[in-house]
Amino acid sequence: MSEKVLPTQVLTEIDSSVRETRLKGVGELERLTNGADLAVAAAARRTLMRLTQEDSRSVAAAAAAAMERTALRLNPDQVHFGEVARGTPQLLADVLVEGPPLATAAAVTVSGPGLRAALSGRRLRIAWTPASDWLDGTVTVRGPAGWADVRVTGQVAEPVPVPAFGEEPPGVGAETTTRMTVLPAPAAPGQRRGPLLLAALAAGVLLGGAGVAVALTRGDEPVPPPAAALAPAPSAATGTTAATTAAPAPTAVARVPLALSVASLPKPAVVGTIRVGDEPEGVAVSPDSRTVYVANQSSRILSVVDVASARVAQVRLRNTPRFVATSRDGRLVFVSMYEPDKSGSGVAVVDAATRKVLRYMHTGVQPYTLAVGPDGRVWVPIHSERRLEVYGSDGYRSRGRILVPPNPHAVAFSEPLQRAYTPNHESNAVAVIDTRTNRMLRSVPVSKAPHSVAVSPDGRTVLVAGYEADTADLLDAATLRRTGPIAVGKQPQSVAFATDGRHAYVVNEGGNSVSVLDGRTGAVTATVPVGGSPRTIAVSPDGSLAYVSNGADDTISVLRTAS
């Protein structure tokens, strides 16, 4: 949308050479973004996005904060259909689309077997036809007001017991499952907008490809969409949307629980230790929380730990593994590799089901703590060449290179802000990257020798470990305002957030411990002893456990992190 539709007074304010006047203009743009005139609202939000790149830090921060306040949000952001019998008919759940009226001008895409979704007004209807043994899919709503995901999970047949070394894991069982009620639609806005305008707005945000349903607000009570309007997920066999004839919607909702939730503990407890390979470093947990992958940096072995039995299998690699990540669907495992002399640099792509290496990716020298972004792309920090390399979700084609200050150690993502953050060890700074353009926006000073970074589940807080400062820093993901330094243990090496965001974890390599922080204030709530020379921590997606690699002990410590 052109800025020409904005009021002349607002255009004058944002173009002023006086900072206070531009700040006033930012406030006016936020007001317009919240308005019922969708053409003006879209133009105002685009202008706010432009102002986040302002030379004036205060104007840029104000614009970023306004962007966050006017962003599309989904409530809840997780739907768990629970355990169902094989042959169960279609299940439905409804999610509320929150934010300004502009949030209703959006498109829906889905990923997951048997999963469909459609948007009608502020109601996002999600349907699942149980087919595969388990579902871990995503429904994405994207429009001029930003984008947001709903994680959708479910399981067919009998549950697989998940051990907690003598206890049933928290968050599992009928007593912790709540049922979802259909969310009421909000009152219609005072000013009705025609379907042509909304269609144009939605078309402006579509990324192309199959499996997209455009939602148009009619200005009155939304009508629940028929099953035929639900956007189907891509076919597992072809990667394209399967052409299907939709069955009629069920007359009753068979089961519509909210997502299972757990509450993180201010003082986790070590509940087990598992022996893995020689000098374990990187750790990752599969999306279903059933498998832990451990890169052993003094061998050419990737350890694969079955959580239910605590049994450990091995995958032999061409070179020494360093760090590990999984694809969003859990089917692929990506392992960064290099030898002590930095030869053999690359990434192994492992099939999670067969535990076979599918291929080796050629990367720059010394690939470090790689990660998979919200859109499935694989981001690889290249430590020795001061850049990030981005690859497709299958690990094949290169999707870009991003120069950053020396030298990147890791990468984490804020989905709402569409930003990536990478700690640059030798520069004592965190680089902030626009994930839409692969362009570095700015560099933010932090504590000395930042080694690791994590972003809270809501995308609003960034946690950084300062290895040589024995401290951690919290950053506001939007404004980049810093809280800290926060004193933790000796040589903080790795950081992570609890799945509810209430607590965060800092692995202290020199202190043989994990510092637990309040996720909002950064206050230390506990210090938990673990094994010798701990390196990396990974929290299971179900939130119940965390795993810490102990480099000196050849083990991983298992922490109970939730009640």
Query: What's the CATH number where 528 sits?
Result: 2.130.10.10
Tokens coding 414:
């804020």
pLDDT value at 175 more than 80: no
Same domain, 163 and 30: no
Asked if the structure places residue 386 within a domain, the reply is: yes
Same domain, 35 and 164: no
* End-of-domain residue from the set 14, 43, 69: 69
Asked if the structure places residue 310 within a domain, the reply is: no
* End-of-domain residue from the set 20, 35, 69: 69
Same domain, 12 and 103: no
Span 493-518, average pLDDT: 96
Q: How would residue 112 be classed by pLDDT, with cut points 50, 70 and 90? A: confident
pLDDT value at 170 more than 80: no
Looking at 63-77, 505-519, 520-534, which range is the least confident one? 63-77
Taking only the tens place, the pLDDT of each residue in 455-479 is 999 999 999 999 999 999 999 999 9
What stretches of 446-512 adopt beta strand conformation (E)? 450-455, 461-466, 471-476, 482-487, 492-497, 503-508
Same domain, 81 and 50: no
Residue 46 sits in which domain range? 3-69
Q: How many domains does the chain have?
A: 3
* CATH number of the domain bearing residue 161: 2.60.40.10
**Burial zone of 437 (CB within 10 Å; 0-12 exposed, 13-18 middle, 19+ buried):** exposed
Same domain, 375 and 522: yes
Same domain, 23 and 92: no
Asked if the structure places residue 272 within a domain, the reply is: yes
Taking only the tens place, the pLDDT of each residue in 149-167 is 898 888 886 544 444 444 4
Taking only the tens place, the pLDDT of each residue in 405-417 is 999 999 999 998 9
Q: How would residue 89 be classed by pLDDT, with cut points 50, 70 and 90? A: confident
Same domain, 8 and 88: no
Place of tokens 């979802």: 180
Name, in order, each residue with C-beta under 8 angstroms of 394's C-beta and a sequence gap of 6 or more.
Answer: 332, 349
CA 476 to chain centre: 16
Neighbours of 203 (CB within 10 A): 11
Q: How would residue 2 be classed by pLDDT, with cut points 50, 70 and 90? A: low
CA 295 to chain centre: 22
Amino acid identity at 33: T
For the chain, the first-to-last Cα distance in angstroms comes to 48
Asked if the structure places residue 309 within a domain, the reply is: no
Same domain, 58 and 194: no
* End-of-domain residue from the set 13, 48, 69: 69
Asked if the structure places residue 358 within a domain, the reply is: no
CA 379 to chain centre: 13
Task: Give the residues across from 111 on adjacent strands.
Answer: 138
Helix (H) or strand (E) holding 139: strand 134-143
Name, in order, each residue with C-beta under 8 angstroms of 42's C-beta and a sequence gap of 6 or more.
Answer: 1, 102, 105, 144, 201, 204
Same domain, 119 and 186: yes
Place of tokens 């994680």: 151
pLDDT value at 242 more than 60: no
pLDDT confidence of residue 225: 44
Span 379-398, average pLDDT: 89
Asked if the structure places residue 288 within a domain, the reply is: no
pLDDT value at 249 more than 50: no
Pairing mode, if any, of strands 78-84 and 146-156? parallel
Same domain, 82 and 191: yes
Distance CA 438, CA 388 (A): 9
Distance CA 110, CA 221 (A): 24
Span 191-195, average pLDDT: 39
Asked if the structure places residue 392 within a domain, the reply is: yes
Same domain, 226 and 106: yes
Rounded to the nearest integer, the mean pLDDT of the chain is 82
Order of strands, sheet of 106-111, starting from the edge strand that comes earlier in the sequence: 78-84, 146-156, 134-143, 106-111, 212-215
Task: Choose among 190, 25, 45, 222: nearest CA to 120.
Answer: 222
pLDDT value at 240 more than 80: no
Asked if the structure places residue 345 within a domain, the reply is: no
Same domain, 143 and 24: no
